[in-house]
Structure 1
Amino acid sequence: MRAPRYRFALIVTLFVVELLLLAAAYQVLTDFECRATGAEGACRFLRSMVARGLSVFAALALLAWAWPKVAAAFLDRAADHPGAGRWRAVHLGGVAILFLPLALAPGGDLVAVFWPALALWTGGGLLAALGGVLWLAPPGAWRLWFDHGVATPLLVLGVTLLVPDIAETVLPLWDWQVVTDVTFAAVHAVLRLAGPAVQADAAAHVIGIDPFFVHIARQCSGIEGVALMAAFVGLYGVLFRADLRMGRYIAVVLPVGLLLSWMLNVVRIAALVVIGARVSPQIAVNGFHSYAGWMFFTALALALLVGVQAVPWLHRRAPRAEGPRMAQDVVAAQILPFVVFMVVLVVANALFPHPDLGYPLVVLALALAVAAFLPVWRGMDWRPGGLALAAGAAVGLGWALTSGPGGAGGPLAEGLAALPAWALAGWIAARVLGTVVLVPLVEEMFFRGYLLARLDFGGRGGAIVSIAVTSLLFGALHGRWLAGALAGLVFALLALHRGRVTDAVAAHVLANLIVALAALATGDWTRI
């Protein structure tokens, strides 16, 4: 087993080095701001790929740790890989293409060549990813993970890919002045160890060593580390749930992890100031500030989980359950299509001037995700009650009548107006299919099929809490949060009325159909 493990570790190490070299090259050797490119979303998405890649590598390590027998079989199969050389060439060719924009940029000015560079990054990234995956192991070896249980690997990868977006999404909730104040004070205390030259303005939250100063804003208080730590602690809990004393684990490990993450962030900011003042401001801002945090937070999360594994008090002796196959796994059917939905929305947001212009891509991904669970859908009772249909009609009419004018003149309307007739027809067909059929199924299975039951801790109070939380989360997912929350409340009550989530799906379908008909009647497709 030593040789297969050595080969695998060597290749993964190479991948990590490649990520770090790409990060260093584009953050240190070039000078550009995403806001100046005309495609800020795509630019920021590409810049986040280093953090996403590091998170995925850590997640794969966690999955192998949880399933050692599958990992051993995978390594054995990967070692016997006659096509490895061909895929290695594809991977290295893709990496070379990723570096090509550096040669095109005059004086490191990537803004001037951003669109050709974007094409090279996209093509090179796809080649590097595909070649890397198939260089590591042939398709048959990768299938071993999904034979063991499809839901868990996809959930693990989906969550880790979304960690940067999770951090960005919850940033407004992190705007606590006390956290910023405490972080500033802690950084000041650490920097005083570097000497008496530290200068600080507590009122403005500016601190540094001449000539390098930083402003500790709310996003500097460690939200990235908190999001990453929470994600990995949660994934560990899912993977090892049969072995853990879950009450102790949640009560102890999560608070400890978040505290350690905050402390590491304090050290990171202090190191940033020292590097900026005494080594290089460019390295501090473009390299250390952007990527070192993600590396350190990932390493800290894995180290914490290694410690958890070594503490008997947190564990109980119980066999670990094997994951069911995907097509018959109801929980996977409730969760994974929604994860796919969120991931593809992030990609569409990065690649299109308005994310809804990429709706055909979203529909394609959702259709594939839904089709994977056809046995689950066939086993459900799809005969809606009269109450479900009446409630769905009321929600749809209420939404259509209170929505007001659409986004006429906005990016979506302008993008649709620029499409040729055939493309617009295809977009409308995809929009109606997704809005009326796929999205109601995916959203209801997650919010009312999965979350509603999981958040109910029993009794009337548990029911109220689960209904309120799922309705508010559902509202937050939609642009009109109050109307969305009220719709979510109706769908939750319908799901509980007869104990059938399919009633909520039927009501959601009818509501969205009415909204789509209103958009058709007005000719304003920005309303759905």
Structure 2
Amino acid sequence: MSAPPLPLAPPGGAPSASGATADRSGALRWGLPAALLAAEYLALSILVDLPLDGPYMPVVRTLRLAVPVALGAAVGGVLLARGSRSAEPGPAAPLPAWRPGPALAVQVAAFAAAAALTRRILAEGAPPLTGGALAAWLAILVAVVLLAVRTAAPLAWVARRVVTRWRTPLLALAAGLLAWRGALEAERLWGVLSEGTLRGAAALLRLGAAPVTVELEERLIGVGGFDVEISEVCSGVDGLGLVLVFQAVWIATSRDRVRLPRALVLLPLGAAAALAANVLRIAALVLLGASGREALALGGFHSRAGWVLFTAVALGSVALAERAAWLRRAPAPRPDATAAAASVAAPGVPAAAAAYVAPLLGAIATALVTGAWSEGALDRAYGARILVAGIALLLVRRSLSPPVLSWSWPPVLLAGAVAVPWIAFGAGDGAGLADAVARLGPAERAAWIATRVAGSCLVVPLAEELAFRGFLLPWLVSPDFERVPPRAWTWTAVALSSLGFGLLHGGWILGTAAGVAFAIARLVRGRLGDAVLAHALCNAAIAAAVMLSGRWGLWS
């Protein structure tokens, strides 16, 4: 005998006496698959770690990127949903009654099969990984994810929802990609934060009377002969970037319900919570290893658990902030039912935003894939990201207010103000890229350089300016961003949009300063085309420095 279905109000339906019960049931309905997948992800991470070498490393690198981005997109979707009353126009399809039992049983069985196969092909001492085994493993993992989703709603309903309301998933994916970039940039802070973090972890371990050794220069910490080196990649400092990005997303989408600038206090508090969580994570890692569980400590725990932990910190800080009276803005009075209905229908993130971010999102997603399949510093398929961004621009052009380019001195001067310090201080280690380019054949080398110059000077400025100065800057001024006066701005709008731009680029400090300069270029005459022009001229100057002086690090 099956249990009766749980009653749920359809999304966007009118409030009723059972609204609170429906909200709780809805949270359980969608929270169950999320919690299930998070637990299973941690279990697989503890069971084995992905290989670090072998013929199938491109697939492994793709997975290493896909999982954090998917986690970030899921959290971004939750924050967008919490901060926005509706991100899509029009009524939603009715949500079927919830019967999780059968799908849940099948999903758990599928995960057990996935865990057994994972242990068989990836555990220490397993035979070399084959293409067939890898394909079977990926297929069963996809099945596990789909079955988890099925515990919440029929897959056909979910597919229709994604297809008809594609803008919200796209914006959530954009948040996930930005969080991933923020995490990468935060890793650069490990050199600055390592001493304090390791000292904090050592002090915590000493509370248990453990004999702790710390070598700050080598970034080593250990207990009872078990010593680990905490490198940038597995330092956990990337959680700092995750928390800051997610909190910024929530503040931006909820600014009609929170007090600004008071809500900005979440950023330093969230950063402090992320650093404290990192101290706890390192202490737990050392204790696990010292207790004889070295494989667990050095396997999935040190990295995968960190992503889940810091995602929990981000969501937890937001949940606490939503309950803080000091941060909440008093609700506006609703004189009649018509005004209330209009308020419910008003989108926090307008559907038109998807058209502005689609070209940049396509370029970033393509770069993730092609970068994972590239060897060394050179992405030989760089042209693919430019092609995808160009196709996206063509597809969404009718939904955009196209920027008008016209000559004026402010964009030129601002381009120089960005290019000079970028060329002087922004170069990374370009030796690997220079060697890789030199090894290309003459025709391929010329084609790659031409594509890189054209992409960075033409397509990239247009895609990035549409996203950051075309959408994000005016949207942070007012949710109805397409009706914002072209020269309207606020300090918060310029700061957050520029910080987002900075996180997208190597060296977030210079990137954020560039974002401020391009915002000024737009605001001087109220023309998005001026920001595009300043950006294009800046990138052209950087390309010239690469070509004339061999500063390949400017492109690394």
Within 2, Cα distance between the matches of 1:132 and 1:256? 34
Deviation at 1:215, TM superposition (A): 3.7
For the pair 1:182 / 2:176, whether they are aligned, the reply is no
Match of residue 527, structure 2, among 480, 500, 503: 500
> Which residue does 2:436 correspond to in 1?
411
> Which residue does 2:268 correspond to in 1?
255
Deviation at 1:282, TM superposition (A): 0.9
Match of residue 445, structure 1, among 466, 469, 475: 466
Deviation at 1:286, TM superposition (A): 0.8
> Which residue does 2:244 correspond to in 1?
230
Unaligned runs of 5+ in 1: 521-525
Match of residue 310, structure 1, among 323, 328, 331: 323
> Which residue does 2:379 correspond to in 1?
356
> Which residue does 2:14 correspond to in 1?
none
3-state secondary structure, aligned to 1:208 = strand
Within 2, Cα distance between the matches of 1:270 and 1:406? 37
Give a deviation string over 1:212-269, Cα, whole Å, max 9, x none: 2234556676412212211221122122121010211112x22222222222222222
Identity of aligned residues (%): 29
3-state secondary structure, aligned to 2:404 = coil
CA root-mean-square deviation: 5.6
> Which residue does 1:23 correspond to in 2?
45
Question: What amino acid is the match of 1:172?
Answer: R
Alignment of 1:326-345 (within 5 A): 326-327=351-352, 329=353, 332-345=354-367
> Which residue does 1:268 correspond to in 2?
281
Match of residue 384, structure 1, among 406, 412, 419: 406
Deviation at 1:22, TM superposition (A): 3.1
Give a deviation string over 1:469-528, Cα, whole Å, max 9, x none: 96996799489x99x9999999777645643222453676689899999999xxxxx999
Distance 1:41-1:58 versus aligned 2 partners, 3 A rule: same
Match of residue 300, structure 2, among 266, 287, 293: 287
Deviation at 1:208, TM superposition (A): 2.8
Within 1, Cα distance between the matches of 2:140 and 2:204? 42
Alignment of 1:452-467 (within 5 A): none
Give a deviation string over 1:115-172, Cα, whole Å, max 9, x none: 666655666666766776688445665665787793x653333222453442223322
Conserved 8 A contact 2:198-2:216: no
Alignment of 1:82-121 (within 5 A): 103-104=120-121, 108-109=125-126, 112-113=128-129
Within 1, Cα distance between the matches of 2:544 and 2:37? 50
Deviation at 1:307, TM superposition (A): 1.3
Deviation at 1:308, TM superposition (A): 1.2
Match of residue 398, structure 2, among 372, 375, 386: 375
Structure 1 range deviating more: 343-352 or 239-248: 343-352
Match of residue 182, structure 2, among 166, 184, 194: 166
Distance 1:95-1:230 versus aligned 2 partners, 3 A rule: farther
Give a deviation string over 1:281-312, Cα, whole Å, max 9, x none: 11111132222222222222222222111112
Distance 1:245-1:372 versus aligned 2 partners, 3 A rule: farther
For the pair 1:77 / 2:95, whether they are aligned, the reply is yes
> Which residue does 1:277 correspond to in 2?
290
Within 2, Cα distance between the matches of 1:366 and 1:7? 36
Conserved 8 A contact 1:407-1:527: no
For CA contacts below 8 A with separation 6 or more, give which structure has more relative contact order: 2
Deviation at 1:20, TM superposition (A): 3.0
Deviation at 1:94, TM superposition (A): 11
> Which residue does 1:47 correspond to in 2?
64
3-state secondary structure, aligned to 2:252 = helix
Question: What amino acid is the match of 1:254?
Answer: L
Bigger share in helix: 1
Distance 1:243-1:139 versus aligned 2 partners, 3 A rule: farther
Distance 1:217-1:94 versus aligned 2 partners, 3 A rule: closer
Within 2, Cα distance between the matches of 1:15 and 1:126? 11
Give a deviation string over 1:46-100, Cα, whole Å, max 9, x none: 23544444444444443444457789x869425499xx98xx9999989968975
> Which residue does 1:523 correspond to in 2?
none
TM norm structure 2: 0.66
3-state secondary structure, aligned to 1:213 = strand
Within 1, Cα distance between the matches of 2:470 and 2:519? 9
Deviation at 1:358, TM superposition (A): 2.5
3-state secondary structure, aligned to 2:297 = helix
Question: What amino acid is the match of 1:500?
Answer: R
> Which residue does 1:239 correspond to in 2?
253
3-state secondary structure, aligned to 1:246 = coil
Within 2, Cα distance between the matches of 1:10 and 1:471? 34
Within 2, Cα distance between the matches of 1:77 and 1:119? 34
> Which residue does 2:340 correspond to in 1?
none
Within 1, Cα distance between the matches of 2:501 and 2:74? 30
Conserved 8 A contact 2:415-2:534: yes
Within 2, Cα distance between the matches of 1:475 and 1:62? 19
Within 2, Cα distance between the matches of 1:20 and 1:492? 42
Question: What amino acid is the match of 2:363?
Answer: F
Distance 1:431-1:109 versus aligned 2 partners, 3 A rule: farther
Within 2, Cα distance between the matches of 1:190 and 1:340? 44
Within 2, Cα distance between the matches of 1:13 and 1:418? 51
Distance 1:266-1:146 versus aligned 2 partners, 3 A rule: same
3-state secondary structure, aligned to 1:244 = coil
Deviation at 1:280, TM superposition (A): 0.8
Conserved 8 A contact 1:147-1:325: no
Distance 1:220-1:489 versus aligned 2 partners, 3 A rule: closer
Conserved 8 A contact 2:46-2:301: no
Distance 1:470-1:66 versus aligned 2 partners, 3 A rule: closer
